[in-house]
């Protein structure tokens, strides 16, 4: 498994599920707090994004 695939796999298995508890988005203008109640929409987008990255990484590795 290449580096990109390992990172995407880790994100899908650990980081994205943890986002359901709420998280902070850090920008150059400051931080945005996302509560657990608000996190579901972000979590779905992140899951789809990392699933696509993983798929691309696996395809590139073949």
Phi, psi of 39, rounded to the nearest 5 degrees: -75, -20
pLDDT computed for residue 62 by the predictor: 63
pLDDT computed for residue 41 by the predictor: 94
CA 48, 20, 23 angle in degrees (round to 5)? 100
pLDDT tens-place string over residues 15-57 = 999 999 999 999 999 999 999 999 999 999 999 999 999 999 9
- Catalogue the E-assigned strands of the chain: 23-27, 30-34
For the chain, what is the mean pLDDT?
95
Give CA–CA dist 46/41, Å, rounded: 9
């Amino acid at each position: 498994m290449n580096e990109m695939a390992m990172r995407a796999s880790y994100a899908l298995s650990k980081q994205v599920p943890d986002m359901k508890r709420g998280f902070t988005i850090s920008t150059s203008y400051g931080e945005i707090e996302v509560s657990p109640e608000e996190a579901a929409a972000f979590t779905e987008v992140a899951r789809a994004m990392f699933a696509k990255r993983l798929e691309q990484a696996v395809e590139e590795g073949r």
